[in-house]
Structure 1
Amino acid sequence: MLKDKFVLGIIIVTIIVLVGGVIFASKMGSSSPSDANSSIPVSDEQKKLLEVVSDDYIKGNKDASVTLVEYLDFECEACGAYYPLVKQLSEEFKNDVRFVNRYFPLPGHKNGLPAALAVEAAGKQGKYWEMHNILFDNQKSWGEKQSPDPAIFEGYAKQIGLNMEQYKKDVVSKEVKERVDRDKNAGIRLGVSGTPTFFLNGEKIPNPKTAEDFKTFINAAILKAPKPSGQPLGEKVHEHADFALFINGEKTLLQSRPEFFEKDPDIHSHKDTEEVIHKHKTGVTLGQLIDSWKTNLPQKVEWYLNGSKQDKDWRQYEFKDLDRILLSFSDSGFSPTSKQVSEITDRACVYSEKCPERGKPPTENCVGGLGTDCL
């Protein structure tokens, strides 16, 4: 009899262990399970949906050749399980990977959409990551409620120091809802049906079961990715663009800020050449220009090219001769007015000598550097 009870006890313990293992594995799995152990390429059309745009929320190296895009739902328990892991990876690979977050609130999660709207409203005040983190840190206290409670999200908004009057306007605004919907609609076109869903350099990867599995995927992508060179190797050119810079709603004159000019031999401004930027090699980008300043700028960016607002990644843009560019950096939701956009200077043609009737350009004092010369 004792022997039978002992055997029965072993069987029960074994079942408990197996069930526990299944539950743990499901926590680290997706709502859209995949049996594949390798990544799944997407079509060229779908890859366009994965291109990083100017208002994406990014951690890590913004110019990295490896990009991890995560579609997430703040109420999703699996997303909550991956949250500390992705946070750890974003620190460990901060120099090699660009980590991008996108909204994908699931219809079955009653708090998923309100949470996404709250995070986007915080993002408009430059505090996306603070709201992102506080929601995941407290997911168990709000995620299982049967109906959304705006007061809970308002409480978190106060904790992270948001302007509450602005937050309450933004969280119910059409603009915030459209921003969340844009991410979700792109996700649907990419075949996302559950969360989290990860895309690594344009390929959908199965949700890794462990941290080591995740690192294996990332390290493989880093090895495959082209290595950026320290110095652009493009052809010599001498092109110019009119450039307007706004910081927290105030127009900043380049020639009034010594830290903004003559820092990079290939793309820069001069203290004596008005609101004009200069390009001396092909392949250089606006990101390279801003990075050369080595100054801390607000995180929210809005930019215009030749009078039109842009969605593509401004950091990767290589300006063309006579472009007219406006870059606005702000901690809030500031947007340049149409009047400010229209008032971008029109002097680049003088420096490129494309409008001789307006006179000759002043002499430029070039930036010196190894491997460079003055044109």
Structure 2
Amino acid sequence: MKDIIRHNFVFIAGIIATAVIIIGGVYLFGNNGSTKPNGKQISNDILVPKGSNITSGIVNGKYLPADSSAQLTLVEFGDYQCPACGAYSPLTKQLITEFSGKINYVFRGFSFIGPESLKSAEAADCASDQNKFWEYHDYLYTHQNGENKGTFADVNLKSFANILGMDSKTFDKCLDSGKYKNQVDNSTNDGKLAGVNSTPSFFINGVKMENIPGSYDEFKKLIQNAMNKSPIVQGTPTTAYHGHFDIKVYLNDTRVNLGLAKYQSKEPKELDPYIHLHDGNGNLVHLHKTETTLNQFFNSLKMNFTENCFILDGGKKSCNSESSSLKMYVNGVANTQYQNYVPQDLDRILISFGPVNDKNLTTQINSVTDLSCIYSLRCPERGKPPSENCVGGVGTDCTD
């Protein structure tokens, strides 16, 4: 939800089906007369520009081309280094296999985790020149192994193409020339325009899923209802909900230690029953209710956070000036919602105060841990989370 992880997993907002036609190679959505869904519908010029990689399903292991008669279009923005995207990839494959010919599935790169995100996205587009985009796309996700550690270095990206039976000379020339660099950058920019702030992010007929489904059955039901032209009202889990997000706060390049005992919640005296730290872990925040803001979290720690100032519990202020500014990044992407931001499951959040042009920002962003993926059981390949002392009040899943 990686960053992304960013990445957000939970449930989904209201969605509606619309007709799909193809004009000049670009998919456009037409209103079918049914109730307009809650949520902004994004222009198809942004979501599915000409030249996008589109498949209408998988039959006998082979990807089908786009189908103008498909009932709906599903657009995903993802990063090839994003573990949550990798975990979700088998679900989208299962979905388009089951609904072959009925869904046009579009993958757009949202490459923000680092240089290997950019290069792997370029490589996938180079593979499309040899009609191997989807095969290469799948290969990248099944061979994730850390972020910016050389897994998707150029030499490996070229070897992947060779393994998949592509013409190596043609592929290597494409990758070395940076042929698709601008296209990769434009894809990420389109995602930002569409409101993407975590990966994976999905759009059904132009409407963004504010929270992505937590299981294949939920995803399937959502798609089926959209096909039936029946608006879906996503159930908002106010009970039995336990999400997580990672956070770091730096003030003038000094990390605020949220692992201190005074910031930790202990049953039955939670600092806040719905959003809190516990077990001495200052990097991981536990969520027990949706629509809970960062303002609520910091207030529970006796801190104050606005777009202009960050005030510690002891009263020390870090406020905007001509030379210094407060910044917030969610899943590696600048975010200006500040105290009003509603953290999502798997978010990685950085709050930083320092020079206006802070050279340490990239290092700080990369320092934000990625524990929520483990604690929310989204990446079982990384092991199980440690036993927790569940802390929460009435209306949470910590009731036993």
TM-score range, shorter chain: 0.3 to 0.5
Larger RCO: 1 or 2 (CA < 8 Å, sep 6+): 2
Output the TM-score relative to the length of structure 1. Answer: 0.48
TM-score where L is the length of structure 2: 0.45
Q: Which has the higher helix share?
A: 1
